[in-house]
Structure 1
Amino acid sequence: MTDNKPILIWGAGAIGGVIAAYLARAGFPVIAVDASEAHVDAIRRDGIRISGPVDDFTQALPAFTPDTITGQYDIIMLSVKAQHTETAVQQLLPHLSPEGVVLSLQNGLNELRIADLVGKHRSLCGFVNFAADYIEPGHILYGNAGALMIGEHDKGVTPRLQALESMLQHYHPDVRAVDDIWAYKWGKLAYGSLLFLTAVSDETIADSVSCPDFAPAFTRLVGEVLSVARAAGVAPLGFDGFDPEAFASGDADTARASLDAIADHYRHSAKQRSGVYRDLAVRKRKTEIDSQIGEIPRIARPLGLQTPVTDLLIRYIHEIEDGARPMRRENLAEFTAEAQRA
């Protein structure tokens, strides 16, 4: 599928920047596309720098903004923020070859919208769980390695998936093409809801999830997301130590043990706070709350389900985005009390 043809990485931030750098270092003809002119200029001038406990190197890489890229490509890996998906797909469509595919390497269920725009046969699904942060133009922090899986919309591992799996294993040998990507996508959505909740506080992820006082809120939130997934016909699967069954069991001690395991993982990571926290506290911009977590109530309601705890999370994040609620530990206490009444 690759035939040494150029590969577009559309969105060269935290996820896309890491993938682009590793594939280029392995000899693949990678081209980065990013909406930030400053980021593109820095990559053109100095290369893209990957730093952190996993690796530290700088990789030369051609880079363009969406309005300066030309040509058509068989493989476009999309890694923009979820709320920018539709705009990015409209921009990349003229550059997608007739037989080309868009592989989403994003958080959320964006592949559903991508398939509507490009056709399901030209859309592939991705699940990403490594930790990375955009630090400044041309510089990405790679905090720790994690799972990366790819799949078709429908079950089955196809030859094109196998070709992409082989390519992406040059980023990390554990990359896998899987038979049921939606089981992992929904597992990550449940896990992502937990990370969104940690971002209402100014504490680290580990400090937030390890506090016994807040365990009921995390447990109810994750359990609610898993309930929607099952109603939609998906049995979420775990990854990197996250076990959905711990939250679906209804056993408080089992859920507490899983939260402690998550806290221990982050205590040993260079990434102490979520990307959501960075959006709110550092980059002062809107988060992916509506595009990621907002999908949960949108899917639940036609199924006859209510999502009061998820709705509460969305409200809290909106209030912080709008400047109506400061980021502080007390938010977790208030959220826990409201979630238990929901």
Structure 2
Amino acid sequence: MSDPILIWGAGAIGGTVGAAFLRAGHKVVFVDNVAEHVAAINTNGLRIDGPIFQDVVHAPAFLPADLKGQFRQTFLCVKALHTEAAMAELAPHLASDGVVVSAQNGLNEIAIARAVGARRTIGCFVNFGADYLEPGVVHYSGHGAAVIGELDGSTSGRIKDLHHLLQKFDPKAVLTPNIWGYLWGKMIYGALLFGTALTNDSIADVLDNPAPRPILSKLAQEVGAVAAAEGVKTEAFDGFDPAAFAPNAGQAALDKSFADMVAHNRRSAKSHSGIWRDLAIRKRKTEVVAQLGPIAARGAEHGIDTPLTGRLISMIEEIEGGTRPLSMENLAELAKVSA
């Protein structure tokens, strides 16, 4: 398609995906709310570093207030906690026949659909490794799943076109009739990542450590129980099998899932999660409430208690507020909730 692709949020996810589209010959327009990042992109281009590819790509970048026009294809790539604010700014720029693709973490499709309608909302799941390093620079550190699908599971002409576009970023990108299965699967994995972010250890080291595995397993099983109550058939990705954390899955399935997750994360140049980076490096709020809050809320609707999820949210917020240090002891403290 010749229309420009709007990338709303030019950080880790948006910058990496947008750069791939540009390298494939597509027109791209970036929007970001960090003025220094926008200025750097316009002055020197967007530099992608890391082991996958290194390049400097050029495309116009705007602050939200400066953007003009409407667009048919928009990839929303902001943090989950900024989704509603971004949609308020984005909606006037969405063409009547346009779509918003949620290349984010969490169940943001729900908020997007509230803002512009389910018909103009596309589900998307990404799990590659990337970080925003500084204005104008993004680090692309590791391959990961990229999945796209209509919210109702249909196979439309537009979703085929969007799948083909996503393959320009990752040739292995998947078109699925069960996007909610991937999104809920990532919710289970995401809870584990928030657990690892309570420490200064790498993702692989925490998951490979036998001491916190029991509490991490219980945390993921708690989220898996909510997904099961939602009637969702979770989907596996990147060595992670969410079915291993379903009720009564068994210890052998748990052990295999942990081993596979460790192997996948050891292959990535990104040793720590973006959550940890927000806490330890950037000293800013994480997506914990936006991502894990819906788990507790949906669990309550189904009569499922989620004490570990609730305590994990509180502990991350305490780290954000500077009242709790990053430490492996935090996982030992979380384990006391289920004792």
Q: Which residue of 1 aligns with 2:269?
A: 270
Q: Is the 8 A contact 2:238 2:261 kept in 1?
A: no
Work out whether 1:115 is the aligned partner of 2:113.
Answer: yes
Q: Deviations over 1:71-93 (max 9, x none)?
A: 01111110000000001000011
In the alignment, the residues of structure 1 paired with residue 148 and residue 187 of structure 2 have an alpha-carbon distance, to the nearest angstrom, of 15
- Give 2:205's aligned amino acid: D
For residue 175 of structure 2, the aligned residue among 174, 177, 181 is 177
Instruction: Please report how far the alpha carbon of residue 259 of structure 1 lies from its aligned counterpart in structure 2 after TM superposition.
Output: 1.4
Q: Deviations over 1:136-180 (max 9, x none)?
A: 111111111111111111122211000011112111111122101
Q: Deviations over 1:8-50 (max 9, x none)?
A: 0000100000010010111111001000111111111111111
Work out whether 1:156 is the aligned partner of 2:154.
Answer: yes
Q: Which residue of 1 aligns with 2:329?
A: 330
Stretches (4+) displaced over 4 A: none
Q: Is the 8 A contact 1:156 1:180 kept in 2?
A: no
Q: Which residue of 2 aligns with 1:216?
A: 214
Q: Which residue of 2 aligns with 1:257?
A: 256
Q: Which residue of 2 aligns with 1:206?
A: 204
Greater shift, 213-222 or 329-338, is seen at 329-338
Matches within 5 A, 1:4-153: 4-153=2-151
Instruction: Please report how far the alpha carbon of residue 250 of structure 1 lies from its aligned counterpart in structure 2 after TM superposition.
Output: 4.3
Q: Which residue of 2 aligns with 1:293?
A: 292
Root-mean-square deviation (CA), in Å? Answer: 1.1
Q: Which residue of 2 aligns with 1:302?
A: 301
Greater shift, 73-82 or 321-330, is seen at 321-330
TM-score by length of 1: 0.97
In the alignment, the residues of structure 2 paired with residue 55 and residue 258 of structure 1 have an alpha-carbon distance, to the nearest angstrom, of 29
In the alignment, the residues of structure 2 paired with residue 60 and residue 195 of structure 1 have an alpha-carbon distance, to the nearest angstrom, of 33
In the alignment, the residues of structure 1 paired with residue 101 and residue 297 of structure 2 have an alpha-carbon distance, to the nearest angstrom, of 24
Three-state SS of the structure 2 residue aligned to 1:94 is helix
Q: Deviations over 1:97-117 (max 9, x none)?
A: 111111110000010011011
Q: Which residue of 2 aligns with 1:313?
A: 312
- Give 1:283's aligned amino acid: R
- Give 1:303's aligned amino acid: H
Decide whether aligned partners of structure 1 residues 312 and 250 sit closer, same or farther in structure 2, where only a CA change above 3 A counts. farther
Instruction: Please report how far the alpha carbon of residue 337 of structure 1 lies from its aligned counterpart in structure 2 after TM superposition.
Output: 3.1
Q: Deviations over 1:111-138 (max 9, x none)?
A: 0011011011111111011110001111
In the alignment, the residues of structure 2 paired with residue 158 and residue 107 of structure 1 have an alpha-carbon distance, to the nearest angstrom, of 24
In the alignment, the residues of structure 1 paired with residue 76 and residue 199 of structure 2 have an alpha-carbon distance, to the nearest angstrom, of 30
Q: Deviations over 1:292-320 (max 9, x none)?
A: 11110111111111111111111111111
In the alignment, the residues of structure 1 paired with residue 192 and residue 141 of structure 2 have an alpha-carbon distance, to the nearest angstrom, of 19
Q: Is the 8 A contact 2:238 2:264 kept in 1?
A: no
Three-state SS of the structure 2 residue aligned to 1:213 is coil
In the alignment, the residues of structure 2 paired with residue 8 and residue 68 of structure 1 have an alpha-carbon distance, to the nearest angstrom, of 14
Gaps of 5+ in 2: none
- Give 1:252's aligned amino acid: Q
Q: Deviations over 1:175-222 (max 9, x none)?
A: 122101000000011001100100000111111111111111111111
Aligned positions, number: 338
Q: Which residue of 2 aligns with 1:239?
A: 237
In the alignment, the residues of structure 1 paired with residue 257 and residue 165 of structure 2 have an alpha-carbon distance, to the nearest angstrom, of 33
Greater shift, 245-254 or 70-79, is seen at 245-254
In the alignment, the residues of structure 2 paired with residue 246 and residue 114 of structure 1 have an alpha-carbon distance, to the nearest angstrom, of 30
- Give 1:270's aligned amino acid: A
Q: Is the 8 A contact 1:215 1:256 kept in 2?
A: no
In the alignment, the residues of structure 2 paired with residue 264 and residue 12 of structure 1 have an alpha-carbon distance, to the nearest angstrom, of 29
Instruction: Please report how far the alpha carbon of residue 324 of structure 1 lies from its aligned counterpart in structure 2 after TM superposition.
Output: 1.4
Three-state SS of the structure 2 residue aligned to 1:90 is helix
TM-score by length of 2: 0.97
Three-state SS of the structure 2 residue aligned to 1:170 is helix
Three-state SS of the structure 2 residue aligned to 1:169 is helix
Greater shift, 235-244 or 260-269, is seen at 260-269
